[in-house]
Amino acid sequence: MNTHAHDSIRAVQWTGTHLRLLDQRRLPHESVYLDLDTAPETAVAIRDMVVRGAPAIGVTAAYGVVLSARHAWTRDPAHWRDAMQADLDTLAASRPTAVNLFWALDHMRRLMDRLPDGVDPTAELLLEAERIHHDDIEGNRRMGELGAALIEPGKAVLTHCNTGSLATGGYGTALGVIRSAYAKGLIPHVFADETRPWLQGSRLTAWELVQDRIPVSLLCEGAAASLMREGRISWVIVGADRIAANGDAANKIGTYGLAILARHHGVRFMVVAPTTTIDMEAADGSAIPIEQRGTEEVLELAGKRVAADGAGAWNPAFDVTPAELIDAIVTEKGVVAQPDQENMALLMGAKT
């Protein structure tokens, strides 16, 4: 059977005893796996982008809680919850924007509160982490179908950053829609922004699509305007790291500019994200914390300085696209067209 690469690419795995992460800093030329045994190691791996991508960060954090529980039970079985608090705080401090991280930690914390004292919690917490992982992949496949149903056949699509198996539990969000649309013959080609400064597009998205034998052309972000002006794109399809209650969406830096270009050129704009990415506590995009990363990511390339000595850098990792520039938000619970506070609340079953 011709299994696709996405069935085999797993950024995050549980080996039976350890959390195993594919080191995405080394891709596409080296596939190196790291086996982690503690929550602090897991937090460093998230901070340093060994693993990245909002849903993948959430799944990883859930396994980090399992590692913390195993050590806490060994160290102080009578007070295992208290013994885990420092680890949970360390995981929460690893990266600020992807709300999936905090959703996963809150979800695991609520389970911890329900578990009995005097019993090793590790096995129950592991079952829940594996359930989070499984549900993410199932949700991605559903979003793939829902998003593909919005795409008319014929034209290429443009995507930004990496939103595939490497950014999730598997299959992908925006790249999952692209995989499903390609499988249905709806899109002939994918254009992918290289996505400076971390190059998730040229290093990760291109790597995933080449393995799936889906035709992909990389472009510098600056070329996106001309590509849209030539009328070659039907949709811009991106992921998200946090979506506010009114539909404003935080995503990789450069997404906001794409949304403005898309609206100017009559190209539709799709955000694909599981509901674990929606933060109903954030009224609008101004409430979303934007991670500022080190200047060396802009000043250097592959660890070698390319910028003029003496130059500084500004390196926000994300920006916010206002809801009015988004034509559709695709989630595993359904599609919200022209998102606003009211239809987002309906999607989330919140009281309006």
Ligand X SMILES: CSC[C@H]1O[C@H](OP(=O)(O)O)[C@H](O)[C@@H]1O
**Under the criterion CB under 6 A, does residue 278 sit at the interface with ligand X?**
no
Cα distance between residue 42 and residue 44, in whole Å: 5
Site for ligand X in 307-336 (CB under 6 A): 317
Among 11, 143, 148, 167, binds ligand X (CB under 6 A): 167
- How many residues sit in the footprint of ligand X (CB under 6 A)? 16
Tell me if residue 223 falls in helix, strand or coil: helix
Residue 120: phi and psi, rounded to 5, are -60, 120
**Under the criterion CB under 6 A, does residue 140 sit at the interface with ligand X?**
no
Tell me the two tokens of residue 241.
């790291």
Q: How far is the CB of 148 from ligand X (least distance, A)?
A: 17
Q: How far is the CB of 251 from ligand X (least distance, A)?
A: 5
**Count of Cβ atoms closer than 10 Å to residue 212 Cβ:** 21
Residues with catalytic roles: 241
* Token pair 């999607």 in the structure block, residue: 347
**Under the criterion CB under 6 A, does residue 55 sit at the interface with ligand X?**
yes
Please enumerate, by residue number, every residue annotated as part of a binding site: 52-54, 95, 200, 251-252
Among 52, 142, 179, 203, binds ligand X (CB under 6 A): 52
Strand partners, 87: none
Q: How far is the CB of 65 from ligand X (least distance, A)?
A: 20
Q: How far is the CB of 223 from ligand X (least distance, A)?
A: 19
Measure the N-to-C terminal CA separation of the chain; round to a whole number of Å.
Answer: 48
- Residues for the chain: how many in total? 352
**Under the criterion CB under 6 A, does residue 252 sit at the interface with ligand X?**
yes
Site for ligand X in 171-230 (CB under 6 A): 173, 200
Between 36 and 177, CB nearer to ligand X? 177
**Under the criterion CB under 6 A, does residue 251 sit at the interface with ligand X?**
yes
Cα distance between residue 53 and residue 321, in whole Å: 18
Cα distance between residue 92 and residue 112, in whole Å: 16
**Under the criterion CB under 6 A, does residue 239 sit at the interface with ligand X?**
yes
Please enumerate, by residue number, every residue annotated as part of a binding site for substrate: 52-54, 95, 200, 251-252
Tell me the two tokens of residue 52.
């990245």
Question: What is the rounded radius of gyration, in angstroms, for the C-alpha atoms of the chain?
Answer: 20
**Under the criterion CB under 6 A, does residue 50 sit at the interface with ligand X?**
no
C-beta separation of 210 from 249 below 8 A:
no
Chain residues that interact with ligand X, rule: CB under 6 A:
52-55, 161, 163, 167-168, 173, 200, 238-239, 241, 251-252, 317
